[in-house]
Amino acid sequence: MVTRTQVGIIGAGPAGLLLSHLLHLAGIESVVLESRSRDDIESTIRAGVLEHATVELLKAIGLGDRMQREGAVHDGIYLRFNGGTHRIDFTELIDRNITVYAQHEVIKDLVAARLATGGQIVFEADDVQVHDIDTERPRLTYRDGETEAALHCDFIAGCDGFHGVSRPLIGGPQRQDFTRVYPLGWLGILVEAPPSSDELIYAHHERGFSLVSTRSPELQRMYLQCDPNDKVEQWSDDRIWSELHTRLATHDGWTPKVGRIVQKNVVAMRSFVAEPMQHGRLFIAGDAAHIVPPTGAKGLNLAVADVQVLARSFGEHYAGRGSQALDTYTPTALRRVWRAEHFSWWMTSMLHSFADADPFQQRLQLAQLEQVCSSRSAARTLAENYVGLPFNAQLN
């Protein structure tokens, strides 16, 4: 079975699906190949903090209705340390905010939109392989059930994550991988309980970082810093609640809402950037190109930013305005990537406890937190980066 399209896209995560939809709106054909089933990608629960620009983009392309009904708009966050709570007011500082809306809900909206407009998504595409990216006729091969299939394209977009087939094919003498592995993990839990807070709480404590988030009126998301090699079996419900109460304790006696824990998982933390993000007619985006620790809430938003640049670059090409935008995709995208990498590293370094930290370093962390909470300019810097730069800021 042989088919043809203009842009072949590997991966039906937020990056691949959004790219496909943006290309559709620009009159450019695409086909998305995804190794998992539709049910799998729509039911894999992952947190989602959407930057202001991400929200505005989804609204502008007609994908904001359910997000606006069910997402929670947050005008700030709380920083907690030394038993005190301090609010960073995004709206007052920079007149923008964020929306808490889970990543799998974004995926549901994108899948529905693509299928409603006749978009082609091949679910359960096995053994996807990339060919001929150094020619003008690249192609993808895969198995669709028992059928061997080939997809001929003008370009290929690898949106298939860190472990996908695309990133290893980005080669050449300029290829560099930048990696930082943190001696930290997050134990994430889903709790059947009402919200503990109206906005996210980022808590620094000598026993480790903790985060209070929300998912819905009935289901909440919380995180505890742990050893990255921990197993969920090591964390009983009693141990989890004991740690959360200790790390989140305040002088006024605040406590989180307790409920039945319905999910636990441990996530290791690392930073990663692949340079360049293109080779021949292959372009990578999202987790295929970069990973950030979750402290800065940048992963999904960086994927959106990448494909917004990439879709605009394809649009320039197919409109007959040349290849300059495609040729400069890497430096354009990387300006935002490295800004987000720095912010995520900074938030991680400021809020977590480190086994090798001496008293001097611990005092530096507290001094940094106190500055952010007492200096308007420092708070504004945090707010600008957390809420996210406008997309046009990376394109100029």
Catalytic residue IDs: 74, 202, 294, 298, 386
- 303 vs 256: CA distance, rounded Å: 32
**How large is the greatest C-alpha to C-alpha distance in the chain, in angstroms?**
67
Tokens of 277: 């993000």
Which residues, at least 6 apart from 38, have a Cβ–Cβ distance to it below 8 Å? 111, 121, 123
Torsion sign over Cα 273, 279, 281, 282: negative
- 114 vs 22: CA distance, rounded Å: 10
SS (HEC) of 342-360: HHHHHHHHHHCCCCCCCHH
Sheet holding 260-275, edge to edge: 84-89, 76-81, 201-203, 210-212, 219-226, 176-192, 260-275, 290-291
Q: What is the Cα 319 distance to its own chain's centre?
A: 30
Torsion sign over Cα 258, 259, 260, 265: negative
Mark 324-333 as b/e (b = at least 16 C-beta within 10 Å).
Answer: ebbeebbebb
β strands within 244-334, DSSP E = 260-275, 278-279, 282-284, 290-291
| DSSP structure class, residue 93 | H
Q: What is the dihedral of CA 78, 90, 302, 271, to 10 degrees?
A: -40
- 278 vs 328: CA distance, rounded Å: 9
